[in-house]
Amino acid sequence: MDLLGKHYKAFTERQEAIKKQYSPEQAAKQHSKGKLTAWERIDLLFDSGTFEEIDAFVTPAGQPVEFGKVEKSFGDGVIVGHGKVNGRLVFAYAQDFTIMGGSLGIVHAKKIAKIQEMALKMGSPIIGLIDSGGARIQEGVASLSGYATIFQNIIHSSGIIPQISVIMGPAAGGAVYSPALTDFVFMTNHTSYMFVTGPNVVKEVLNEEVTFDQLGGAEVHARSSGVAHMIYDDEENTILALKKFLSYLPSNNVENPPVVADDGTIPDINPKLRDIIPDDPYKAYDVKDVITQIVDRNSFLEISELFAPSLVTGFARLKGKTIGVVANQPKVLAGVLDINSSTKGARFIRFCDAFNIPLLTLEDVPGFLPGVDQEHSGIIRHGAKMLFAYSEATVPKITVILRKAYGGAFIVMNSKNLGGDFSFAWPTAEIAVMGPDGAVAILYRRELANSKNPDELKKELVKKYRDKVANPFIADESGYIDEVIDPAVTRKKIASALSALNNKWVKVPSRKHGNMPL
């Protein structure tokens, strides 16, 4: 009894010590930078009272050489554990910047690795709430080896459990590769940043002045590099958005995504869809207006909204079930496929395929973006990623051709011969090897050169091409699509196609892995 009492005292003392560690002063330090504390983030993420911490009392390893000082602390600067998010099991780690800058020593790394392995074994998503100065300098190569283990675990779990990184402070140096390897990266504006080499090195090497935000802030990664998929103005909204985002995903690759009730307010027969495409084929429209008239109300969640906006990607629900939407956006560069939109689309398609999320493709694309810059930067190599991703995907794949489907882009956007399951076209569809202007310029080059009135002749020929060639009926009659449909019945057609595909089964020949063009 005495012994138990003695141990109990030691136990309560440790608990008191850990409480003191998370002091109001430390919280104030974080708050003064517009950031929440690691615990506040955990509390926001998990359903109330469900988070169970693991390894709270581990202490940092010693340091191999006398340089700097490793602070004694409980937990070694990271909180790890599991709990429920929207009622489902989720693992998470939250780095604590107030302890040695959230830097990653070997014990810190082992804690993360431990829950990575648990999440994989238990088939549950893992979230990293990252706020760290990177590898702990004092611990030298041990901390590098810790990162390597974390990377290895992410790669082993890729395609098996969803892995999401939320950047809520610094992510610098090689440490950026941990988020980069995960499926999705969330960032908070102005308080988070990611870069391989910071502003000081940029100044030293290139003599360029740049701020943290300009070099690797959320906006930069969401708009220009494509590293960040989702960005929000503050941490609370970032975490709330993450919870909503998780509700679309299955816990692992052998489960189906959760099904929610559809409020039934988007009708199966929806005449509004007849009025979105303008009469003038050269006029743009917003494909998101089409998406929102097809999917369940308020269910569309756009991913990578700011990056490569000529292609729209996002999750939605149809009759309560998650789908992945890939749609050309005529409002931006006429919906053209370029290097960035191809890589954006390919990555999204591969995620959906890994996690049993059927794909809906809405097509209105004039082709690949021409130009020296695109050719020299590898549009051939990057465009091939879209082809590869669509063709490789075995989830249900449905296409609706809304308007333009020209050339290679017709093939790429989930055509039947690339393994598309159902292909519908609206009467406004233009399916041909190329657009009218290009076709006339090539086939009637001599006639146009010799004509007294080339503009008039061109106009006539373009009209003829539109009437005879650039329509959905040739493809329909020859079976290259399945059906020309009234736009109003689009939701109904997709729903019944998805229902027919419920038990879709594809046998893929065994191989180590395909060789996707990278």
Q: Provide, rounded to whole angstroms, the least separation between the CB of residue 33 and ligand HXC.
A: 7
Q: How far is the CB of 99 from ligand HXC (least distance, A)?
A: 8
Distances (CA, A) of 387 to 225, 347, 401, 503, 517: 22, 12, 17, 24, 10
Q: Which of 95, 103, 188, 391 binds ligand HXC (CB under 6 A)?
A: 103
The residue (of 100 and 242) whose beta carbon lies closer to ligand HXC is 100
Are 85 and 118 in contact by the 8 Å Cβ rule? The answer is: no
Phi, psi of 110 (to 5 degrees): -65, -35
Closest approach of Cβ 98 to ligand HXC, in Å? 8
Integer Cα distance of 366 and 346 in angstroms = 18
Binding span for ligand HXC by CB under 6 A among 6-14, 131-139, 364-372, 494-502: 131-139
Give 133 or 162: the residue with its C-beta nearer to ligand HXC.
Answer: 133
Supply the minimum distance, in Å, between the C-beta of residue 198 and ligand HXC. Answer: 6
| Separation CA 98–CA 255 (nearest Å) | 38
Of the listed pieces 6-14, 136-144, 285-293, 490-498, which binds ligand HXC according to CB under 6 A? 136-144
Amino acid letter, residue 101 = G
Tell me which of 174, 264, 371, 514 is the catalytic residue. 174
User: β-strands 230-232, 483-484: how paired?
Assistant: unpaired
Give me Rg for the CA atoms of the chain. 27
User: What does the per-residue mask of binding to ligand HXC show for 54-93, with x meaning CB under 6 A?
Assistant: ----------------------------------------
Catalytic residue among 159, 320, 407, 408: 408
Nearest residue (CB) to ligand HXC, 56 versus 144 = 144
Residue 153 DSSP SS3: helix
User: Is residue 27 within the footprint of ligand HXC (CB under 6 A)?
Assistant: no
User: Can you tell me whether residue 348 is helix, strand or coil?
Assistant: helix
User: Is 408 marked active-site?
Assistant: yes
Identify the residue among 38, 100, 154, 239 touching ligand HXC (CB under 6 A): 100
Residue 173 annotated among the catalytic residues of the structure: yes
Q: Which is nearer to ligand HXC, 147 or 348 (CB)?
A: 147
In the complex with ligand HXC, which residue's Cβ is closer, 102 or 314? 102
314 binds ligand HXC (CB under 6 A): no
Residue 409 designated active-site: yes
Calpha distance 184→351 (Å, rounded): 10
Q: Which is nearer to ligand HXC, 174 or 370 (CB)?
A: 174
- The contact mask relative to ligand HXC for 193-222 (x = CB under 6 A, - = no) is -----x------------------------
Inter-residue long-range contacts of 58-64, CB under 8 Å, 24+ positions, other chains counted: 58/107, 58/110, 58/111, 59/107, 60/100, 60/105, 60/107, 60/108, 61/105, 61/106, 61/107, 61/139, 61/142, 63/138, 63/139, 63/140, 64/139, 64/140, 64/141, 64/142
Sequence-separated (6 or more) residues with CB below 8 Å from residue 301: 244, 245, 248, 314, 315, 316
77 assigned to active site: no
Binding test (CB under 6 A) with ligand HXC, winner from 42, 129, 135, 287: 135
**Count of residues near ligand HXC by CB under 6 A:** 18
Residue 208 Cβ, how far from ligand HXC at the closest point, in Å? 17
Q: How far apart are CA 89 and CA 23, in angstroms?
A: 29
The answer to whether 180 and 228 are in contact (CB under 8 A) is no
Pick the binder of ligand HXC from 134, 330, 472, 487 (CB under 6 A): 134
Toward ligand HXC, which CB reaches closer, 190 or 492?
190
User: φ and ψ at 389, to 5 degrees?
Assistant: -65, -45
C-beta closer to ligand HXC: residue 172 or 346: 172
Name the active-site residue from 142, 222, 308, 409.
409
Q: Which stretch binds ligand HXC (CB under 6 A): 96-104, 272-280, 288-296, 509-517?
A: 96-104
Question: Any idea which residue has 């000082």 for tokens?
Answer: 69
Contact set for ligand HXC, span 137-196 (CB under 6 A): 137-138, 144, 147, 170, 172-175, 177
**Counting Cβ atoms within 10 Å, is residue 254 exposed (0-12), middle (13-18) or buried (19+)?**
exposed
Q: Which of 429, 482, 433, 438 is nearest to 458 (CA)?
A: 438
Q: Cα–Cα–Cα angle for 197, 230, 149, nearest 5°?
A: 50
Q: Which stretch binds ligand HXC (CB under 6 A): 129-137, 222-230, 335-343, 358-366?
A: 129-137
Q: How far, in Å, CA of 428 to CA of 470, rounded?
A: 9
Q: How far is the CB of 172 from ligand HXC (least distance, A)?
A: 4
Beta bridge partner(s), residue 315: 301, 324
Note whether 131 and 96 are within 8 A (CB).
Answer: yes
Binding positions for ligand HXC, rule: CB under 6 A: 100-101, 103, 133-138, 144, 147, 170, 172-175, 177, 198
Active site residues: 173-174, 408-409
